A and B are shown apart, each in its own frame.
Chain A
Amino acid sequence: MRLKIRSSLLAVFRMALLSSLSTAAFAQEKVIRIGMTAADIPRTSGQPDQGYEGNRFTGITIYDSLTQWDLSSTSKASEMIPGLALTWNVDPTDPTKWIFTLRPGVRFHDGSAFDADAVVWNVDKVLRKDAPQYDPAQIGATLSRMPTLRSARKIDDLTVEITTSEPDSFLPINLINLYMASPAHWEKKFAAVPAGITDKAERSKAAWTAFAADFSGTGPFRAAKFVPRERLEIVRNPEYWDATRRPKVDRLVMLPLPESSARTAALLSGQVDWIEAPAPDAVDAIKKRGFTLYTNLQPHLWPWQFAMQPGSPFADRRLRHAANLCVDRAALKELLSGLMAESTGIVSPGHPWRGEPTFQVRYDPAAARKLMIEAGYAQVKPARIRVQISASGSGQMQPLPMNEFIQQNLKACFFDVQFDVMEWNTLFSNWRLGAKDPSANGAAAINVSIATTDPFLAMARFVSSKAFPPVSNNWGYFSNPDIDVLLAKARTAFEPEQRDRALAVLHARIVDEAPFLFIAHDVSPRALSPKIKGVVQPRSWFIDFTTMSVD
């Protein structure tokens, strides 16, 4: 009996020793542990969900796309550069056809070759409904970001022809969001689906589920460990095709920690080395403990999008201008401990698409009140508006305090603001249905934050009269013939400089019409342990993990 106890004690001791040994081995490996804001690990099968945070952690780390962002500069807006494609140009005889020349010699993590067939396969996974790899779960985050993409055709092993529904100069930028997963690896998973599952769609679903747990792309990191809803571990890919971008760290560990004070606790207790979006009120405490805070302007806009169909108070441009003049953005910035940039348009001054708007977005409540009085409102007769907002959500920053602050501001300019607070997914689905839908509940504005990475996402989908719900995100039914013409001009400008000039004219005009209450740009704050070196935080939603090292 006594012996038995001794031996079991020994076993416990040995186990403790072993686990401490494995921790020691873990410590020698260069690891970065990251607390993400996402509620779940973003999809790993190629087209991540969870917004651009998904692309940041399970997109560009594991996969590459034909084109990619240059993330090496902290001082200017990120530019598009070649990725898995070396060159591309539009067919001079038919501007709806693009020819992409692929990078030779690239291999997927499973060893299979990346070629034209792989590109066609990956386009088909989101577009061709009869393809075995067609995955309804992945199209959501994909097609909305490349609305004109129609099909792909192999010309030779390293040349692909891509077709769009209309001439669209934005296509190469949009394709940054189409990640190349390994067809060979997927076929293996598909072949291994139990014979008991006979339905074609079910078989495909099962193969994708297996692929998500053991994925294969061409990116700088490859699969190591996946615990659903808890953690994802990826390790360096020593054979990455871009020798200058082979990772210096061995392993990235990602944990979903949606609640900001829980993220802060994880950082301060040493459980993670890096957290996304620390709560502004915790920033001082975090800095005091020696962590480094990185920020930079992000292509992001936190607006109120106005409803402009007849009957909405904001159909009157004077009210749109008045609201824009009535928000004290500098004080709001203070509220967020400096973790925002004041917005005076969709893109900021200095951006190639900025242009020269006539209407200056600024804080001038006196001018705002004057406009309101002109429009027939007064202290005793305020404009009653309802705004749909969420309590949290990806990119929504601190929605409740920010909206409450704006509500107080607008009160001084004869706006009586009421909120419909809803859960993020509901707000998002209402946004797709538009301001005329019953789900809008008569709202005069909606607070959905947006990514402004490319011209389609930044402008086209909000101002085109072809983008009315349910087609795209022109929630407020904004329509202006001049703007439609300017947009068409930009879309068909295939020379990059010419395209940017056209976009600048378009943007200036949009600011003048003010379809948004421009409020804030996110600065993607993240707090990192000082032992992580070589961090370059670009003006982007993304960050390059390959430049980083750990002391």
Chain B
Amino acid sequence: MIAYLLRRVGYALPTMLGVAFLCFMLVHLAPGDPLVSILPPDASADLQKQLMRLYGFDRPLPVQFGHWVWRALQGDLGTSIATARPVVHEVFNAVGNTFILATLATLIGFTVGSLFGFVGGYFRNSWMDRAASVVSVIGVSLPHYWIGMVLVIIFSVQLMWLPPSGAGPSGSGQWQWDVAHVKYLLLPAFTMSFIPMGIVARTVRALVGDILAQEFVVGLRARGLGEFGVFRHVVKNCAPTALAVMGLQLGYLLGGSILIETVFSWPGTGFLLNQAIFQRDLPLLQGVILILALFFVGLNLAVDVLQMLLDPRIERT
């Protein structure tokens, strides 16, 4: 088991380096002047050179990459060009906000998705199964940003129940789990919950179906175990995988929420990424993508390891 652990971590390290390289190159593919947001329209060549040196854009790419990785290892991702604030600060604030949003969204998505999945798995190939799968397929087929806009029209503009944008009545600085703050969270979280809902439903349906089809369940039933007992058995057996999927979905939502965060002006990672792209803020862009991707790699690793600890029977290839 230790050997497996080491091997799994060993795999993750080169992946992380590759991810860093990709982030770096991605951003340097970008056409346009990296200093566009602060360089005056009539900047002299001299001033431009000075600024390029100040921001380190004059050095050869491999040197810049090495420097960037070296500083990143020390927890310094440079400063945003547009705002002059440290990128690490900006990204971690945003990760915190997205985490709040993604957690609630995952919870909603997981609860509803499990429900549909259970119904589908229990009554496999019946009309209820088909109905449940159609409903869960609706979840993955909707453009989520569009659902967000429709919800804003209904609940904010028409009914005036919930605010349409932002993260709390006085900004995201002091998030609290009280009514005034959660009101801001409901619409984006509900919109976002559609993303994990479909996949959770499908996973649970497949798991439940598999477990019920296994011979020993048939045996348990034959020996007179009640439906509730069977249900408990099923839950116990599919929980590790379902929870693992939930964990991964949470990780996915941390990086995959750009459209929803943009629609709701939720000050998270997706919102930050959108700003970095449109302001051509290279250090910020690199920083956001890097942190999100590394987080995703780490989460994959953690889930794999946890799952193996919970259920050592899982075959490793």
List A residues at the B interface (Cβ < 8 Å): 12, 15-16, 19-20, 23, 39-40, 43, 49, 129, 136-137, 139-144, 147, 201, 205, 208-209, 212, 225, 227-231, 255-257, 259, 261-262, 264-266, 268-271, 423-426, 428-429, 431-432, 470-473
Q: Is there contact, CB below 8 Å, between A16 and B178?
A: yes
Instruction: Given A136-B50, A136-B51, decide whether A268 and B156 contact each other with a Cβ distance below 8 A.
Output: yes
- Whole-angstrom distance between the Cβ of A227 and the nearest chain B Cβ: 3
Residue from B32, B38, B164, B169 within 8 A of A140 (CB atoms): B38
Instruction: Given A19-B178, A428-B36, decide whether A269 and B164 contact each other with a Cβ distance below 8 A.
Output: yes
Interfacial residues of chain B within 18-41, with CB under 8 A of chain A in the complex: 31-33, 36-41
B43 / chain A contacts, CB cutoff of 8 Å: 140, 470
Q: Is there contact, CB below 8 Å, between B166 and A144?
A: no
Instruction: Given A425-B36, A425-B278, decide whether A23 and B160 contact each other with a Cβ distance below 8 A.
Output: no
The docked-state distance in angstroms from the alpha carbon of A514 to that of B42 is 24
List B residues at the A interface (Cβ < 8 Å): 31-33, 36-43, 45, 47, 50-51, 54, 79, 81-85, 90, 93, 149, 152-153, 156-157, 160, 162-167, 169-173, 176, 178-180, 262-263, 265, 267, 271-272, 275, 278-280
B81 / chain A contacts, CB cutoff of 8 Å: 137
- Whole-angstrom distance between the Cβ of B107 and the nearest chain A Cβ: 18
Q: Is there contact, CB below 8 Å, between B42 and A136?
A: no
Q: List 18 A-B contacts (CB under 8 A).
A: A15-B178, A19-B180, A20-B180, A137-B81, A139-B40, A144-B41, A212-B84, A229-B90, A230-B267, A231-B171, A261-B149, A265-B152, A265-B164, A269-B156, A423-B278, A426-B31, A429-B32, A470-B42
B173 / chain A contacts, CB cutoff of 8 Å: 227
Q: Is there contact, CB below 8 Å, between A231 and B54?
A: no
A141 / chain B contacts, CB cutoff of 8 Å: 40
The docked-state distance in angstroms from the alpha carbon of A423 to that of B79 is 23
A208 / chain B contacts, CB cutoff of 8 Å: 84
The docked-state distance in angstroms from the alpha carbon of A472 to that of B93 is 39
Instruction: Given A432-B41, A471-B42, decide whether A230 and B172 contact each other with a Cβ distance below 8 A.
Output: yes
Per DSSP, chain B at the interface is loop
Q: Is there contact, CB below 8 Å, between B267 and A429?
A: no
Residue from B33, B54, B265 within 8 A of A262 (CB atoms): B265
Q: Is there contact, CB below 8 Å, between B84 and A144?
A: no
Q: Is there contact, CB below 8 Å, between B279 and A473?
A: no
Per DSSP, chain A at the interface is helix
B93 / chain A contacts, CB cutoff of 8 Å: 228
Q: Is there contact, CB below 8 Å, between A16 and B179?
A: yes
A205 / chain B contacts, CB cutoff of 8 Å: 79, 84
B36 / chain A contacts, CB cutoff of 8 Å: 425-426, 428-429
The docked-state distance in angstroms from the alpha carbon of A472 to that of B42 is 5
- Whole-angstrom distance between the Cβ of A187 and the nearest chain B Cβ: 18
B164 / chain A contacts, CB cutoff of 8 Å: 262, 265-266, 269, 271
- Whole-angstrom distance between the Cβ of B92 and the nearest chain A Cβ: 12
The docked-state distance in angstroms from the alpha carbon of A428 to that of B41 is 9
A266 / chain B contacts, CB cutoff of 8 Å: 163-165
B85 / chain A contacts, CB cutoff of 8 Å: 209, 228
Other contacts beyond A225-B170, A229-B272, A271-B165: 10, CB < 8 A = A15-B178, A23-B180, A136-B50, A136-B54, A142-B40, A230-B267, A231-B166, A231-B170, A269-B162, A426-B36
Instruction: Given A16-B179, A262-B263, A262-B265, decide whether A269 and B163 contact each other with a Cβ distance below 8 A.
Output: yes
Residue from A137, A209, A472 within 8 A of B41 (CB atoms): A472
B79 / chain A contacts, CB cutoff of 8 Å: 205, 209
Q: Is there contact, CB below 8 Å, between A429 and B33?
A: yes
- Whole-angstrom distance between the Cβ of A208 and the nearest chain B Cβ: 6
Q: Is there contact, CB below 8 Å, between A257 and B40?
A: no
Residue picked from B54, B82, B275, most chain A C-beta under 10 Å: B82
Q: Is there contact, CB below 8 Å, between B157 and A268?
A: yes
The docked-state distance in angstroms from the alpha carbon of A339 to that of B145 is 28
The docked-state distance in angstroms from the alpha carbon of A189 to that of B81 is 20
Interface pairs A-B: 7 shortest CB-CB: A227-B171, A269-B156, A265-B164, A230-B171, A19-B180, A140-B40, A268-B157
Q: Is there contact, CB below 8 Å, between B160 and A137?
A: no
Q: Which residue of A lies closest to B97 (CB)?
A: A230
- Whole-angstrom distance between the Cβ of B177 and the nearest chain A Cβ: 9
Q: Is there contact, CB below 8 Å, between A265 and B166?
A: no
Q: Is there contact, CB below 8 Å, between B40 and A269?
A: no
Instruction: Given A40-B275, A227-B172, decide whether A271 and B163 contact each other with a Cβ distance below 8 A.
Output: yes
Q: Is there contact, CB below 8 Å, between A265 and B165?
A: yes
- Whole-angstrom distance between the Cβ of B71 and the nearest chain A Cβ: 13
Q: Is there contact, CB below 8 Å, between B179 and A228?
A: no
A256 / chain B contacts, CB cutoff of 8 Å: 265
Q: Which residue of A lies closest to B174 (CB)?
A: A227
Q: Which residue of A lies closest to B158 (CB)?
A: A268
Instruction: Given A209-B84, A425-B279, decide whether A257 and B42 contact each other with a Cβ distance below 8 A.
Output: no
A225 / chain B contacts, CB cutoff of 8 Å: 170-171
